[in-house]
Amino acid sequence: MYSFSTWKKITLTVCLAVSFAFGASSQIATQSGSVRDSGELPTLYIIGDSTANNNANGARGWGDFLSSHFDSHRIKVLNRARAGRSSRTFFSEGLWDKVLQELKAGDFVLIQFGHNDGGPLDTGQARGSLPGIGTESKEITLADGRKKIVHTFGWYLRRYLADTRAKGAVPIILSLTVRNIWKEGKVERGSGRFGTWAREVARAEDVRFVDLTNLIADDYEKQGQEKVALLFAGDHTHTSPAGAELNASMVVRGLSTLRECTLCQFLKQSSPARQ
């Protein structure tokens, strides 16, 4: 039999060991950024360009209006899209790293790029990505002499997907918004092939995909060219507040049609966009 003093020493040792182990595991979890505090709401992040986040010249992006469709008591919506960015520059400028630092298991990420990916690779704003969804890359030299490696549009999308999943979060890809460009009574359905490439990446990676382009275009053609002109703010790409609200409602409508959409459980039941 152990003496009382011996039992006291054993008990103290065990308590210290458990305390140290718990503290170490908590520290690891905190450093990984993947553990949510008890009671903390999940977050929906939006990443993209000015069509999702814009406050210039009277324009607004759809990301600023999306939160009104979600139950704020159950989920947070953070619009991290940034004007002028492409799938390449949102990644290369560290904007994606900032999202990853906050991203936790159980969060969601809406991913929409393409409007700026067709630009030059190494001149002007130098924000273009290589066309397609392959693994090829190209070294380019910027005006200041710096050398950079540029990947395909699909490569950047797959990187966002992989990083999101590694955090235990859920990615969803959206195709582009629609520009106010018409021909013979029909509105342009997407700029270039970026919508097609986004769909192909989503299918190959088994990720949910919202065909926002056709949802918006169908609505525009029902309204007609004259009414649609009022949904834009001075150019053919950037929407007015009314246009941004419409696009946000189309995002919700698209989400509501997805099979096994875990994000949809956080939508307001009363949201008209779900009807």
Question: CATH: 3.40.50.1110, 3.40.630.10, 2.60.120.620, 3.40.50.300. Which one for 40-274?
Answer: 3.40.50.1110
Catalytic residues: 50, 235, 238
pLDDT attached to residue 28: 32
Helical ranges in 33-73 per DSSP H: 63-66
Q: Of all helices (H) and strands (E), which one includes residue 111?
A: strand 108-111
Q: Which residues of the chain have pLDDT under 50?
A: 1-33
Given this model, what pLDDT does residue 62 score?
98
CA distances (Å), origin 77, targets 63, 110, 116, 159, 197: 9, 10, 24, 22, 26
Q: Which 3-state string (H, E, C) describes 155-173?
A: HHHHHHHHHHHHCCCEEEE
- What's the pLDDT tens digit per position in 75-104? 999 999 999 999 999 999 999 999 999 999
Look at the block and give the residue holding tokens 């039941």: 269
Which helix (H) or strand (E) element contains residue 151?
strand 147-151
Q: What's the confidence (pLDDT) of residue 31?
A: 36
User: Quick one: tokens of 102?
Assistant: 């906050």
Give burial (CB, 10 Å; 0-12/13-18/19+) of 255. buried
